[in-house]
Amino acid sequence: MDLYRSHILVCAGTGCTSSASMEVRDNLKKEISRLKLDKEVMVVETGCFGFCNLGPIMVVYPEGTFYCQVKPEDAKEIVEEHLLKGRIVSRLLYSEPESEIKVSDFDKIEFFNHQKRIALRNCGVINPEKIEEYIAHDGYFALAKVLNEMTREEVIDVIKKSGLRGRGGGGFPTGLKWEFAYKTPGTVKYVVCNADEGDPGAFMDRSVLEGDPHSIIEAMAIAGYAIGAEQGYIYVRAEYPIAVNRLEIAIAQARELGLLGKNILGKDFNFDLDIRLGAGAFVCGEETALLTSIEGHRGEPRPRPPFPAVEGLWRKPTLLNNVETYANIPAIILNGADWFSSIGTEKSKGTKVFALAGKINNTGLIEVPMGTSLRTIIYDIGGGIPNGKKFKAAQTGGPSGGCIPAHLIDTEIDYDNLIALGSMMGSGGLIVMDETDCMVDIAKFFLEFTQEESCGKCPPCRIGTKRMLEILEKITQGKGVPEDIDNLETLARTIKNASLCGLGQTAPNPVLSTLKYFRDEYEAHINDKKCPAGVCQALLTFYVIAEKCKGCGICARVCPVAAISGKPKEPYVIDSEKCIKCGACIEKCKFGAIVKM
């Protein structure tokens, strides 16, 4: 067996791959070969490190040197300087926001210091396409433990005592769901993984599948043993080609080693997995719609009860959890229920993975203990708001969640606190907004998404969200009237109470939460015909500050409707009647002489 003095871990997740990380890998290998370092240095493809806005990312071990935004042409310098001469390439190191202090040690970067990785434990650590590396990190030990040492009841009891709740949105106790499926009579049962991640800006499940697919396979096999199922399905959207490819490789490897199939590990236990591809419909993230899609029908939700644990796939008892929920299972089995339940809060145990995005310096994938404050996530992990702007709100739970205002920044993030604030955990999207964001426009954005993605099966969701969207469009166009606010609230509560599935029931949340915390912005749009954030174009007025205007005429030349006039070297004027508020003049003015209000 070859022993290498250095390992270079290169991110091969979707984000870094789209930024040419595979070209970086190829160039590294070429330079290593050119300098005859093949037997000393190994290049390893890994999953997502989490620090997505800095990709492509690579870490050199044993030093733990963290390089970011590496370009293919940087490979030559890295190999010649770092690997051959032992000199760190300083220009490729990470700089902490604001301070601009360079940090070379992976373990000392603030972004990672407040995290605790359980679901993401192997992402960025192992090569996801090599089962041997997963096994070397205690992979399939949990499956061996349950098959050799535990009864089905004992497995379920451990999951119940751990306090793990479903990470797909609703937060239902996982162990209780497993117990329902186990106790439901039936000779044929199924285990299903929901990997249909459809929230805007969400990529938690995709990253786990790309970086650690065997953890999901192992967890589903454990679940199959616990409830008495012999067949599982992973429902993943076809828009995730890297995740699908790595799942296919992992399933084939597990079958080859006897970890899937007949008589697993020599025991009287059979379990196998297949992949089902989704077409990207948001509604198929709802469990009953997902099951309907697997059966080959159009993805539409079914009335509940009966719940899937009683009557699910092909009307058989079915256990359905999402990717992140399953990713916790092997660690819980190996470390015990007490270990997991010691992390987090009283009613929200363990950790939660978030896709951190929006107006924040450090965007990416993070995993923090339940109960971590929003302030810690935004300022310690996220590095604060860019360009000195003020934090305004955070949207949690995607289109089904709500907005948390700045004065609640010290809220501890867990299931119950978010619901109390009018938001929800959801699958883990967390979008940060600053003072330049209009909360009415934000509510409209999310409602546009849910209205577009409504399956149309039930009238409250199909028609109600359409009517709400029409009102929001009217308000942002300066045509709103005071009673629009009451009408929005009435529609929202009707939709929440009358929609068939959870997606329809939660669709009004962004509107209700922004009305609760930012009602003054709605009133400004309606009563004053002003957008305080300067976002809603129909409510803006563009004008020239005469003292700053140099009379260069560039603004007039770029105006598509000839709304700007003037003489050379004299202040120009904008005709508000002609102006279409496209913003081209502001973009081109070099002197900051054009403003909007």
For residue 513, what pLDDT band results from cuts at 50, 70 and 90?
very high
- List of domains in the chain: 6-109 (3.40.30.10), 131-341 (3.40.50.11540), 351-434 (3.10.20.600), 439-528 (1.20.1440.230), 541-596 (3.30.70.20)
Beta strands (DSSP E) in 62-151 are 65-67, 94-95, 102-103
* pTM for this predicted structure: 0.92
pLDDT at 1 over 60: no
Rounded Cα–Cα distance for residues 178 and 320 (Å): 9
Residue 568's pLDDT is what? 92
pLDDT in tens, 419-448: 999 888 887 889 999 999 999 999 999 999
Rounded Cα–Cα distance for residues 580 and 541 (Å): 10
Query: Which DSSP string corresponds to 532-559?
Result: TTS--GGG--EEE-TTT-----HHHHH-
Q: For residue 429, give both structure tokens.
A: 């999207």
Q: For residue 81, give both structure tokens.
A: 């300087």
% residues pLDDT > 90 (the chain)? 85
For residue 101, what pLDDT band results from cuts at 50, 70 and 90?
confident
pLDDT in tens, 198-235: 777 778 899 999 999 999 999 999 999 999 999 999 99
Q: Strand pairing partners for 573?
A: 565
Query: Which DSSP string corresponds to 281-301?
Result: -GGGGSHHHHHHHHTTS----
pLDDT in tens, 563-595: 999 999 999 999 988 998 888 999 999 999 998
Residue 56, preceding peptide bond in cis (omega within 30° of 0): yes
pLDDT at 79 over 50: yes
Which residues, including other chains, have CB under 8 Å from residue 259's CB and lie 6 or more apart?
140, 143, 217, 218, 221, 265
Calculate the average pLDDT of the chain.
Answer: 94
For residue 2, what pLDDT band results from cuts at 50, 70 and 90?
low
Query: What's at 291, amino acid-wise?
Result: L
pLDDT at 547 over 70: yes
Give the three-state DSSP class for 519: helix
pLDDT in tens, 9-49: 999 999 999 999 999 999 999 999 999 999 999 999 999 99
